[in-house]
């Protein structure tokens, strides 16, 4: 989570500088918009910082499997709400993800099942909650935004506390996100004892290794537990390919984020512009 805190802190510094420039230019409307975004960014930083503290206070032996929480003496463990389970998975991945992938990751690294069908109406519920009481929750689950239309990307969820650039998807983002997921999942797997790595996690790692050139040994030797995954090899192959696409993808998303901040209101920055306004949103100022 540290990289997300760093990104939010950098964004707050940029906003403060932009506010000073707007004030010198006597642009009161721009100052008002920037101040509102600074407040939203500060709230996002506060929520993420609190979550980081809670994570650090959790005993190290708990690892990634923290989905079950105790509900008092003599009572059994209680499953977290679906939105919090989704938040856990997205925090692990750090990229927009579809419900099916979220369910698969949850099965691999967290206790209990999270059916994709439970996420069907989640995004709409989150948007209704935001519009009825903006900022009442520390975070919202919201759709990724397309880089061209700044509209909701179908079937991709993100977290509102992420920087806007991280919540936008461009033409290369699907592959960039796949490679980034591979790196973050490999890190999560390494934090779990290899002897106790659940079968779904091993299968997930194997899926990533099979779909990244050079991520598997030339002649992998199956064991009783199945085909092993070389995490170091997976990381190296994913990192090498990611380096080819990351700069171009980042440029596309950064440019789209600048347009979004100029053209969308607070709700639109989280949940996207309407399709009716797509021609207007595609125009670069």
Domain chopping of the chain, boundaries: 1-58, 82-281
Q: CA neighbours within 13 Å on the CB side: how many for 282?
A: 7
Strands (E), the chain: 68-69, 78-79, 141-146, 152-159, 168-169
pLDDT for the residue 29: 79
The distance from CA 187 to its chain's CA centroid, rounded to whole angstroms, is 16
**What is the C-alpha to C-alpha distance for residues 104 and 89, in angstroms, rounded to an integer?**
10
pLDDT for the residue 3: 61
pLDDT for the residue 177: 98
pTM value is 0.71
pLDDT for the residue 69: 35
pLDDT for the residue 20: 80
Q: Which residues of the chain have pLDDT under 50?
A: 57-78, 224-225, 276-285
- Give the angle subtended at the CA of 180 by the CAs of 220 and 174, to the nearest 5°: 105
């Amino acid at each position: 989570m540290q990289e997300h805190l760093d990104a939010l802190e950098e964004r707050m510094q940029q906003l403060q500088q932009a506010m000073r420039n707007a004030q010198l230019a006597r642009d009161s409307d721009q100052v008002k918009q920037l101040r509102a975004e600074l407040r939203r960014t500060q709230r996002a930083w506060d929520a993420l910082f609190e979550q980081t503290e809670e994570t650090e206070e959790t005993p190290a032996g708990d690892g990634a499997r923290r989905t079950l929480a105790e509900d008092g003496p003599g009572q059994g463990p209680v499953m977290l709400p679906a939105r919090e389970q989704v938040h856990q998975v997205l925090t692990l991945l750090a990229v927009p993800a579809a419900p099916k992938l979220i369910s698969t990751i949850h099965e691999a690294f967290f206790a209990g099942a999270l059916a994709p069908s439970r996420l069907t109406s989640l995004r709409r519920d989150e948007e209704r909650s935001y519009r009825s009481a903006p900022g009442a929750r520390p975070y919202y689950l919201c759709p990724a935004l397309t880089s061209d239309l700044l509209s909701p990307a179908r079937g991709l969820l993100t977290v509102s506390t992420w920087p806007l650039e991280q919540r936008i998807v461009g033409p290369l983002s699907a592959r960039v996100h796949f490679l980034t997921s591979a790196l973050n999942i490999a890190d999560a797997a390494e934090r779990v004892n290899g002897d106790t790595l659940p079968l779904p996690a091993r299968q997930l790692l194997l899926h990533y290794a099979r779909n990244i050139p050079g991520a598997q040994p030339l002649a992998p030797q199956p064991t009783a537990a199945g085909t092993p995954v070389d995490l170091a090899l997976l990381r190296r192959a994913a990192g090498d390919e990611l380096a080819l696409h990351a700069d171009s993808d980042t440029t596309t998303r950064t440019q789209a984020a600048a347009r979004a901040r100029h053209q969308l209101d607070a709700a639109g920055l989280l949940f996207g512009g309407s399709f009716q306004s797509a021609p207007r949103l595609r125009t670069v100022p």
